[in-house]
Amino acid sequence: MATRSSQRPPRPLLRWVLMLIGVIVIFGGVFALKAFFAKQTNNFFDNMPQPAASVSAEAARPERWSDDGDAVGTLVAVNGTDVTTESGGVVRSIEFEAGQPVAAGKVLVRLNTANEEATLKALETSAKLAETQAQRWQQLGKDKLVSLDEVQQRSAAAAAARAQVEAQRALIAQKTIRAPFAGVLGIRKINLGQFVSPGDAIVSLQQLDPIYLDFSLPEQMIGKLAEGMTVQASVDALPGKTFEGKVTAVEPQVDASTRNFKAQATLRNPDGALRPGSFAKVGFALGGEREVVVIPQTAVSFNPYGNAVFVVGKVKRKQGETDMQGKPLTGDKLVVTQRFIKTGATRGDLIAVTDGLKAGEQVVTSGLLKLRNGAEVTINNDVRPAADAQPKVENR
């Protein structure tokens, strides 16, 4: 009995606690070791020397630019319309060729007037009779054989008959359709024997010389643009060719929805090269010159939150810096700093910088996508973007 009492009873809770502590120690050690290696790895990559990015660069330079303006506009005919008829009828003859120039008053189309001419003859006969009777009653009135009232009635009837004749002649004249002004005809829209109603389009007629150029400008320029100023216009259909004209009208009202106002210039167009409805680029000089700082447009990152450039500068290397092979580096290094700027007008490949950049500072012109603030760079200008104020396209 004494032997049995000396044995300890089993303690399962203690075993579970010791087992749990052992598991925690083992896994904690594994995770601690993993965290240590991860930290060492991060420190290695953080301190690993990065290769310098190869970019092209150009110094911001001062230039004297005149206060020029530009806009886009639409060419509009001085006179342009679809020729129509005031009176309906059947087309009897077509006396024009599509696409040909015509003089003012030239007959284009004649409608059938047989019924109207027959009615005119009847009205002319009635008018002659009324005129004869009026003259006879006037003579009787002088002889005091009829009353003055009867004489006036006969005279009024004769005048009414003459008016009916003139109205019928005007109706017949309306059925001879003429060019209202000189211009160039379009494609005809009627055929022989076709019945046309009043207002139906017969053919387009456009006066091409001179021609209007309508364009819009922001309200800030409403005091700078004046009538008589010279403008230059170009169209995509005629590359390399410039047309000169004068501002002939400026809209006094600003559009409340766009905050723009309209202007109109008149251009000479003797050969008819410019056509109504064409898109045109407009340029004009506002006078005066000013000094601006310009850089290539490729150097600017245009963003909704602001435009920025990468400015190249020299900084001293930290002691002990090495390259990718571990060799020590000495001397200064080129580092880029991102800087927000304010931009102004553009001219060709160049853009003016109004704030944030000084003349002589070097900016990156290509390779911007691989850069970050503080990145080291090397400059290679063997191949760099063009930076010309008046670029010309070369045919290859």
What is the spatial order of strands in the sheet that 201-206 belongs to?
Answer: 80-84, 201-206, 183-185, 101-102
238-244 long-range CB contacts below 8 Å, 24 or more apart? 238/273, 239/393, 241/273, 243/267, 243/268, 243/269, 243/274, 244/268
Residue ranges of alpha helices (H) inside 10-147 are 12-47, 114-142
Ramachandran region of residue 228, left (φ > 0), alpha (ψ -120 to 50) or beta?
left
Q: Tokens 């995509």 appear where?
A: 236
The domain in which residue 344 lies consists of: 53-65+290-379
Instruction: Identify whether residues 217 and 152 lie together within a single domain.
Output: no
Cβ neighbors of 36 (< 8 A, separation 6 or more) are none
pTM above threshold 0.75:
no
**Could you tell me if 142 and 161 lie in one domain?**
yes
Same domain, 167 and 235: no
Digitized pLDDT (tens) for each residue of the chain, 396 residues in all: 444 555 666 677 777 877 888 888 888 888 888 888 888 777 655 555 567 788 999 999 998 887 677 889 999 999 999 999 988 999 999 999 998 999 999 999 999 988 888 888 888 888 888 888 877 777 777 767 777 777 788 788 888 888 988 988 888 888 999 999 999 999 999 999 999 999 999 999 999 999 999 999 988 888 888 888 899 999 988 888 999 999 999 999 999 998 999 999 999 998 889 999 999 999 887 766 788 899 999 999 998 888 999 999 988 776 656 555 556 565 678 889 999 999 988 888 899 999 999 999 999 999 888 888 888 888 888 877 777 766 665 555
Residue 152 sits in a domain whose CATH number is 1.10.287
In this structure, what CATH number is given to the domain that contains residue 266? Answer: 2.40.30.170
- CA 310 – CA 338 distance, rounded (Å): 4
**Strands (DSSP E) found in 143-236:** 176-178, 183-185, 195-196, 201-206, 211-218, 230-234
